[in-house]
Structures are given as structure tokens and as C-alpha cells.
Structure 1
Amino acid sequence: MNANHTSADLLRLAEVLREVGFEVVEPSDWANVSPRWWNGALCPRPLLLARCDTTEKVSRALRVTNDAHVPISIYNGGQDWAGRSLREGTVILDISRMAKLAIDADSREVMIGGGVTAAQLNQAAGEHGLAAVIGNDGAVSMTGLVLGGGYGPLMTRFGLACDSLLSAEVVLPDGRIVVCDAERNADLFWALRGGGGNFGVVTAMRLRLYDPGTVLSGTIVFPLADARAVLARFADVASQAPANLFASAVLSPVPDGKPVVVFSMVWSGEVATGEAILARVGSVGTPLLVKAVPMPASSLLSLTDGKLAQGRGYEVATRWFDALGPATIDALVSAFEARTSPLTSIIIHHCHGAATDVAPEDTAFGMRKPHFTALIYATWTPERDDAEPHRAWAHRLNAALSPTALPGGYANLLPDTSAEQIACAYGPNAARLASVKEQFNPSGVLKAIPLP
């Protein structure tokens, strides 16, 4: 419990919230909520949870919590590994039920509520023969993905998820409801595209949809012994890739627990050309599996969804690189060989094409040159394992990668404690982000992904 608020204070706050129409979950009923934490290694103790299913309720809740001088967290999907949607000592405003969406297929636009997940949007868009820029996990909320930038397999053709944002409905910390786009509240609109939920509660977004046609999904699974050669070939292919090729490499276990390295790609073009790219990568090792399947872009999510299972323990680190040289590859593979858990994985993808055609100053997401991103997921079973060895492994690898890494890192995955990386995560946009936050959230009551 927050030391500044007594049990009587919380009871009064819960009563006030119920009186104005909220469903409230108190600590005594917390078991009904705690399974929603994605990271099973976290056990924060929020004060209360208030369910909000309309923009007006969000506004009302912010006014009530402001009057009570209590900090808040915003929950819309709960996939943040650092638990920022369920912070210790806060009142949680749960907007996950705001999950309405409406597609205008003619204009290729969609209006979504703040609780819509990537899976829900992907399915609805696919039913119209369209696709949205989403990531690799369907349970992630679209607001969280868009506000943090949003990498995904269609980004090389259509930009980051944040580049698809056309307008947003936002409840400011003082309860005011505003709409922002390129013309209205333009500073806020700029900050939402990569600066996180540090400026207001996004209750609705209008996003651009796309018609990517049929894509070729290619996968090659290699034994771990081939990892260094495979990563070197992946780096070579990715660094020369046109915009219609997205490529990634993963060090991970397969279902039977055996460690492997996997090359994956999404190709939009002549099937024969895509198969040739796949063959070039496959020639460097001894593939255990080679698969090339044409499919609608909306089917890509089924290949990756749920790989990072809810309830496991996670410690996550991330680094950017302008190239994957031998020293970086060796650091990644050596660390994976010495991993502390068989569940641990490392994902590397290359960002180029449309995602890097945007000028850094045009959105809050400041990394707009071609780059590799390494996503390090130390993963364990909380009920069985001590967390510290796994956390230490992730921290050691993060430090080992520092000499060859670019400054900063993907802010959506940086913890609040990574001050050095956070300071550089927004490139030239840090000062403007601070100014916009001072304008719209001067009290700092809303805290999302870290800002410098």
C-alpha cells in the first residue's frame, strides 16, 4: 500500500468511484486480476482497479484520482514486461474493454478503441482483405504498440505502426478530452508517434490500413552449431534488402527444447525471387527445416503469436546496431550458448525501407536510419526458478553488446533503470518530448515508457 494513503482513504476512493459508475476491484479481490500480468516474475501491489469502458469514464476517473492525489497506471493489454501498466501503489484505470473497431474498407482506415489488441485488429482487417502494421504478438494492445513506435513484419513496406496513426482521441491528465491529428493539437500528435503514453490516455485511434496482397513467408531452421554462419548470412542479406523484404533471425528452443537458430523472412514480390533469397541463406549450414508458403499478410501473425507465453518470468534487454559484425555475432551466440534457462530467446530483425524513409524529426520515434534491433528475452519459470541468475544473464549480454551497439535502444522495451540508453533512445527529439510532456502532463501523473 502507498504509505501516503490509509486504508480509510482507499475505501473512500473506492466508494466515490462506484458512486460515479465504476466497477472497482479492491486488493482483497486481487486474485481476479493478478493472472493478467504478462511477466510472472512481477508482483506489484496496486491500490485499486477501476474498469473504464467509455472515454467519459476515463475522464471522470482521472478527475477523481487527481482530487484524491493518487498516482495512476493505464492498463489496456498488460504485455509490458516491466509492468508499467500495473505499477506498485497506483490506481489502475483498466481500458481493456474499450475494444470496439470500425473499418472503412473504401478509405482503408479503421477506428479502434484503446483496448483493441493486435489480434483483434489483424482479424478484422483480414476479413476485408486488408492488413495493419502490427508486431509479432496478438495480445499486445495496439495503443501500446503505436505509441512506442511499433516494429513488425510489414514495416519495411508501410512504415512503423506509429506511422499509420491518422488521429487520436486523448484524455489529458486533468480530464479534458481532446482530438489530435496533423492539424489539431499537432504537438501532441507528434509526441504520440513514438513517445509512449506519457501525455494522456489514448481512448481511440484512427489508423491507416493497407492492401499488401499475398506475401511469401519463408522459414529455415538450423542447428545451433550453424548460428554464427547463419547470422552472418542474415546480416548480409538484410543489409542489402529492398523494401519488400523483411528478415529476422531467432536463437531459441523448438518445442522439444532443442536450441536452434531460425531465419525468417516476409517477401512481397515474385515467388521465385523470394525462394532464391531463402536458398541463399539455406546454403550456409545444414537446415533441419525449410518452408516457403504464400499467404495473406493477415496470416503472418499465426506464425509467431503466443511464442512469449504469459505467466513466465521475463527480463528483457534491447540494443540497436548499424551492422552485425563478427564481434556482435559472437557475443550474441556465445551468450545464448551460456544461457541460464532453456526458455530464453534472442530475436534480431532489420529495419529499413518505409520505416526509415521518415525524417527523424517528423515523429517522436527518432531512430530512422537502417538498423538491426536485438531483443533479448531471458525467460524462466517463476514457480521453480530463482530470478536473479536469469536477470544477471540478460544484463551481462546487454553490457557485452554495448561496444558495438548504437546509442539508445527501442524505448518500448527499455526499463526505467536504463538511464544511459534512455538518454539516447529518442535521438534529436528528446528536448521536444520533454517540452510536450510539460505542456500536457506537467504533474507527471502519467508514466509510461521512459523519457530522458
Structure 2
Amino acid sequence: MSQHDLITDLHARHPDITHALPGEDMYARSLDLWNGGVTTRPAVIARPRSTDQVSSLVRLAREHGTPLAVRGGGHDWLGRSLAADGLTIDLADLRDVRIEGTEAIVGGGALARDLVAESSPRGLLAATGTAGSVGLAGLSLAGGYGPLLGTAGLACDNILGAEVVLADGTVTSTQEDPELLWALRGGGGNFGVVTSMRIALHRDSGIVGGTVLFPGSQASTVLDGCAELIARADRGLTLLAELTHVPDVGPCVLVVAVWSGEPGGAGPALDEVRGLGTPLVEDMKPTTQQDLLAGFDQQVPHGMHWCMRARTVRALTPEVIQALLTAAEDRPGPGAGIGMRQFHGAATDVPADATAFGRREQHVALEISAGWTDGEDPEPYVEWAEQVRSVLEPLALPGGYPNFLAPQFTDQVAASYGDHAERLRRAKARFDPDGVFTATPLPS
């Protein structure tokens, strides 16, 4: 059937479902993704207001044999939240958050900041990433490294249950099928449309943290110090670092440090972070998670063009650090950078087979990000990202963080899930045998 038939059917059979066509304002808003380089254009974008409406849209797409995609926060760097010439389901109207004791029920379109806006004033913490503008479901389903990882674990570890619309339009719950919950906790949005999730929250005994910016000339010393702090792995302190470029300053090392452990340990731990070098700027203080995410959001560029690659290393060894420093020196422009995300503490306490997430021992996930603006030649950026990925290969563990992986790296994708690859294949074949949903890459 044609796109015209799909749109005609949507008008006739579901006039209650808000939808938009190219040229309309709502359509343009849904196209506004974090990666401004995505050029995919759906035939129609629909914004359901209920799980039943999501189910109707999935059934309609299947009847017409049209490509189907699901848009949450719009942060997937490959733009898989838009369906080329097909139907995109934008969950922007499913953002409700309800707190029940130390749990939250969140809609499939909720952003991280939506959850934290409700939990933070109640003295509760949620496992999120660093950016509040990211879709909570997309982040959580694929893993979800974040600044509270040492005490709260990965975002996926905190998914207690979910309501899911399967590829045939059936509405189910992970309460009815524990294997679906296992697959969702690290296997990404590859098994259906998650219309709501039940999330575990954590008591806030007072978090302290923020950012410290060091000049690029101190990068070697700062990363050596980060490696030492990570090796000691106090679960109360979670570190993220990035070799980056700051306008009017030049090459820098940005360190994000958050203490979420016992209150008395914050001072000594963060003093060690300050002492990694001579900071250009330092903003670490007692804060709320809501304010913490708001501060991070100010530093997240929106609308640039992006190419990303991933590696995982056991530790920031001298060889790894040297490779990172050399790569930073060779970057083609200010939008190219390398992020380092610590995995430790509570995230390592989860049994290896409890979730689909593939690696539970201490490690550092490397995010190789190449970002350029309109008018810049993308080729040097893409070549740089791939070169860094290749140089790091002999120093890295197999696989990488799926949220940053491109699907063409099949060997790396398969290794990312460790011993879970075959179980994930079976889950995909069971819940989505026709491959309707495409999110983070799965083993082929």
C-alpha cells in the first residue's frame, strides 16, 4: 500500500489520534533531534495520548507494511527515532510521572528531567544520565551510565517493570513475562513500544558535585589522577571525564564528579578531584539532582551533526591515556571529543545474568564523539572517529556501550552483550520476529 493509503486510513479510522504531515508545525517539532545531521523524513508523525492509541498505530503500520519508528527524547545519534517514508510514533504526550513511595511510574515519552522534577523535591534520587533532556526510556533500556552509578547502578538496573506494545499491537506487561523484563534491561527498545515503566528510586542523603575544568596542558596529569581515583573505586564517588574544547579557552579536560555516598565522605573525595590539577573553573557544591541535571544540560550542544564510536577499557592505563591524548591532539575541530564513563560500585553488584546488559566488572566506557556544524566538511570528523576506534582496539575489551555503537560493527556489537548474545537473539525472535522495531544494535 502507498503512503497515501496509510495517511487516508489514519484519518478515517483514528481521527482522535493527533498526527502531522510534512510542512506542519508538529511535524517540524518532532524532527528536531539532538543530532541535527539526521535527514530521515517520515510520511506521517503521530502523537498518541494512551497505550490503546499506541496499539492502534502499531497495528495500522503493520497492516500497511510501512516502516515504523518510536520517538522518545530524540537523542539517538543515528536518528532511529524517525521512520523513513513511514510512520513515526512520537511519545511526547506520554510524559506523566507519578511517585508511589520509593518508586515512580513514568510514561514512555518522559525525559530524565521530568522524573527528577518529581522525585528530587521528595528527597529521592533516580538513576539517570548526565543530561535531563534525554528520553528516560531510551537511556534506561540500553543501559544508562550516569553520575549516581556508584550508589544507584545503571538506569536499566532500576527498571522494575514495564507496559509494552508488541509488534502485533498486543499490550503486555513484564509482570506477565519476566523474560521481556530481562531483555528490556539492557537490550534496548528492540522488543516493542514501552509506554510506561516502573522505576526504583533511592533516598537522597545529600549529593555533592558538579564540574571542574582543567586546561588541556594538564591533560596527562589529570587523566593519571582520574585513573588512580577510578582504581580505588569508592562507590560514593562517580567520575566522568571528557577531553573537549571550550570556546575562547581551547583544549580542556572536563571532569564531572558526583558524591552520592555517606555525607561525611564528600569533602575529602571532591578535594581529591580538585587536586587533579589547577582548575580553570570549579563548580562543585551541595546540590539537588534537579539542579545538577539543569547545569549539565547547559553544556550539551543540540543540533550539531554527530558521528559516534565506542570502546570499553578495563582501566585508564598509561597506554590508554597516551592513545587518548594523541587522539585529542589530532582532532579535526572543536566538536570532536572523547568521554570517559566510570562503571563501578552498585552497578557491579548486579548478577551478570540478571539483565541483558553485557559487562558487570569495573571498566571505563569510552565515548568517541565527532560533532560538526552546518558548513563544515564532515569527512575529517568521521575519519577521525573511526581512526580513534581502530587505535584503541588492541587496548580495549571486546564490545562497547551499545548506545554509542553503529550497527555495521557486527563483531563489536555481538561482543557487547557478552554471554547474553544468544539469549537476546531468542528474545528478539520471540517478541518481534519480523524485526519491526530497530533501536540500539543487537547481535545478528
TM-score class, shorter: over 0.9
Q: Deviations over 1:233-282 (max 9, x none)?
A: 10111121221111121211234352211223112356674333344344
Q: Which amino acid aligns with 2:80?
A: R
Q: How far apart, CA to CA, are the structure 2 residues paired with 1:391 and 1:417?
A: 14
Q: Which amino acid aligns with 1:64?
A: L
Unaligned runs of 5+ in 1: none
Partner of 2:110: 116
Partner of 1:24: 19
TM-score, normalised relative to structure 2: 0.95
- Residue 37, structure 1, aligned to residue 52, structure 2: no
Q: Deviations over 1:411-437 (max 9, x none)?
A: 112111221210111111111111111
Which segment drifts farther, 109-118 or 342-351?
342-351
Q: How far apart, CA to CA, are the structure 2 residues paired with 1:137 and 1:77?
A: 11
Equivalent of residue 95 in structure 1, options 91, 97, 106: 91
Secondary structure of the corresponding residue to residue 298 of structure 1: helix
The alpha-carbon deviation at position 284 of structure 1 amounts to 4.8
Q: How far apart, CA to CA, are the structure 1 residues paired with 2:145 and 2:315?
A: 18
- Residue 197, structure 1, aligned to residue 194, structure 2: no
Unaligned runs of 5+ in 2: none
Percent identity (aligned): 39
Verify the 8 A CA contact 1:17 1:50 in the aligned structure 2.
no
Q: How far apart, CA to CA, are the structure 1 residues paired with 2:357 and 2:368?
A: 21
Which segment drifts farther, 49-58 or 285-294?
285-294
The alpha-carbon deviation at position 46 of structure 1 amounts to 2.1
Verify the 8 A CA contact 2:235 2:261 in the aligned structure 1.
no
Q: Deviations over 1:154-195 (max 9, x none)?
A: 1110111111111110001001101113xx201101101000
Q: Indicate how the Cα distance of structure 1 residues 232 and 272 shifts in structure 2: closer, same or farther if over 3 A, else same.
A: same
- How many residues align? The count is 440
- Residue 12, structure 1, aligned to residue 5, structure 2: yes
Q: Output the aligned Cα RMSD.
A: 1.8
Q: Indicate how the Cα distance of structure 1 residues 101 and 287 shifts in structure 2: closer, same or farther if over 3 A, else same.
A: closer
Partner of 2:291: 299
TM-score, normalised relative to structure 1: 0.93
Q: How does 1:112-151 map to 2 (within 5 A)?
A: 112-151=106-145
Partner of 1:160: 154
Verify the 8 A CA contact 1:360 1:428 in the aligned structure 2.
no
The alpha-carbon deviation at position 385 of structure 1 amounts to 0.6
Q: How far apart, CA to CA, are the structure 2 residues paired with 1:411 and 1:271?
A: 34
Q: How far apart, CA to CA, are the structure 1 residues paired with 2:173 and 2:424?
A: 18
Q: Which amino acid aligns with 1:129?
A: G
Secondary structure of the corresponding residue to residue 127 of structure 1: helix
Q: How far apart, CA to CA, are the structure 1 residues paired with 2:178 and 2:295?
A: 37
The alpha-carbon deviation at position 378 of structure 1 amounts to 0.8
The alpha-carbon deviation at position 45 of structure 1 amounts to 2.5
Q: How far apart, CA to CA, are the structure 2 residues paired with 1:42 and 1:281?
A: 37
Q: Indicate how the Cα distance of structure 1 residues 70 and 187 shifts in structure 2: closer, same or farther if over 3 A, else same.
A: same
Which segment drifts farther, 389-398 or 303-312?
303-312
Q: How far apart, CA to CA, are the structure 2 residues paired with 1:218 and 1:141?
A: 22
Q: Which amino acid aligns with 2:67?
A: P
